Structure 1
Amino acid sequence: MIVNAQKYYCYILSNKNRTVIYIGYTDNLKKRNAQHKKKVGALFTKRYNIHDLIYFEEFDNKKVAKARERQLKNWHKEWKWNLIKSVNPKLETLNIN
């Protein structure tokens, strides 16, 4: 029997100037990223024009992904930027197509 394993994601978005970040989690990163770009969903991302995906982590467990989101939201700003830059040093928008 083959079972499709559901994946969950903790992700970080930023605005064009990389001055503001948003942290969230989802079970469909591609769909959620498209929603942010269309300004559907989180009011914070609409208000600050945040839609560039700059970081994400993949998980097999929803609770773990949600816990990671909470953890990152509680981190100091500098820690968040250091984490992002550790895998995306140029802070480029990631393409998930």
Structure 2
Amino acid sequence: EVGHRWLFRNFETISRGALGGPGLSLYWAAKYFLRGITRSRRLGDILSLPFALAPLMDGMIGEDHKIDGCNGAYFLGKLTETSISLSNIVDEYR
């Protein structure tokens, strides 16, 4: 997310946040890890079923804590005449 903020440093923030939380990241990691270990898509999917509940817990995680473990982030902003400084971006880190 900080990378987005630097990339869009000439924009005023309207909204920003996580897309999919750490629970979804955990599920995807477990699923593809188990697919690789078993060398079977079907068996990996079956063995990863207990992890399918993890994304349901993402709603219990606050936005400030969700951002570090999310599987994607978004930034919506408005173009401005000024640029945000690197120190201000660091201060904005959640």
**What TM-score do the two structures reach when normalised by structure 2?**
0.28
Q: Which has the higher helix share?
A: 2
Q: Which has the higher strand share?
A: 1
Larger Rg: 2
**What TM-score do the two structures reach when normalised by structure 1?**
0.28
Bigger relative contact order (CA 8 A; separation at least 6) = 2
